[in-house]
Chain A
Amino acid sequence: MASTIIGAGITVEGEITTDEDVVVAGTVRGKLTAKDAVTIEHGATVEADVSGGSLVVAGSLTGNVSVSERADLQQGARVIGNVKASRVTIADGAQFKGNVDMDV
């Protein structure tokens, strides 16, 4: 069970900062900073720069991503922005526009 959940009907306009994990099923506009895993579920909309330990996207994300571990763009994901992570996967059926920086 995630510690912070932005439910499907909820919109946050502003800044979310946490030292735990975040699951977004609703809408976030602004900035999203977590120390742990960030999950953007199918149907969710995030218009924010995202930083965290890891990232899983199945929804829509517009913004730059910087995670310390891995970023997984799952099927159905739509990501516009630059992704900086040590490991990146882009699943078949994910849409992505931006740069990938794996720090090589």
Chain B
Amino acid sequence: MAQARTSTRGDGHEARIGGGARVRGRIHGEGDLLVEGHVEGDLAIRGDLTIAEGASVTSKAIEAQSVTIAGTLEGDVVATGPVRLAAGARVRGNLRGSAVAIDDGARFSGRLDCEFELPPELGGASRDTRGRPAARR
């Protein structure tokens, strides 16, 4: 029997989509979000996003601070912080972040967009002409 309860939680900024849950629509706001279930729709949060193992997210656009993915993601990620694809992650889409890490065992297809300094032997030295790297492939 379900009990009436006054639930006051200390962590007011926590959000979680549980393993048995499915959200179809847009999620936005402040605070960290943990996805263990399924989300179809755009995600824009000022906080850290974690897509847990077994979770799936299908989205046109994902915006968050740091993004950690251990589940399945289809969609483009724009992060202000680092993006990490953990082992077991399956990601199809473009990733942008302050840093991008892809662990051994993660599967990824898409484009990576992140700012970093190339070492001189890879043409990093040519960047000092107003940050425009030499266009050569």
Whether, in the assembled complex, A99 has its beta carbon less than 8 Å from a beta carbon of chain B, the answer is no
- Other-chain contact of A5, B15, B23, B29 (Cβ < 8 Å): B15
The answer to whether A89 and B4 touch across the interface, beta carbons within 8 angstroms, is: yes
Chain A interface mostly = strand
Chain B nearest CB from A48 CB (Å) reads 11
The answer to whether B16 and A3 touch across the interface, beta carbons within 8 angstroms, is: yes
Chain B nearest CB from A41 CB (Å) reads 6
Tell me the A37-70 residues at the B interface (CB within 8 Å).
37, 39, 41-42, 53-54, 56, 58, 69-70
The answer to whether B16 and A4 touch across the interface, beta carbons within 8 angstroms, is: yes
Interface size of A in residues (CB-CB distance below 8 Å): 39
CA gap between A58 and B6 in the complex, in Å: 8
The answer to whether B1 and A69 touch across the interface, beta carbons within 8 angstroms, is: yes
When each residue 1-18 of chain A gets 1 if its CB lies under 8 Å from chain B and 0 otherwise, what string results?
Answer: 011111111111111111
- Other-chain contact of B23, A14, A23, A27 (Cβ < 8 Å): A14
A-B contact pairs, 15 of them (CB 8 A): A2-B16, A4-B21, A5-B15, A8-B13, A9-B13, A11-B26, A11-B29, A12-B23, A13-B26, A13-B28, A15-B22, A18-B37, A20-B19, A36-B2, A69-B1
A residues near B (Cβ < 8 Å) are 2-20, 22-23, 25-27, 30, 36-37, 39, 41-42, 53-54, 56, 58, 69-70, 72, 74, 89
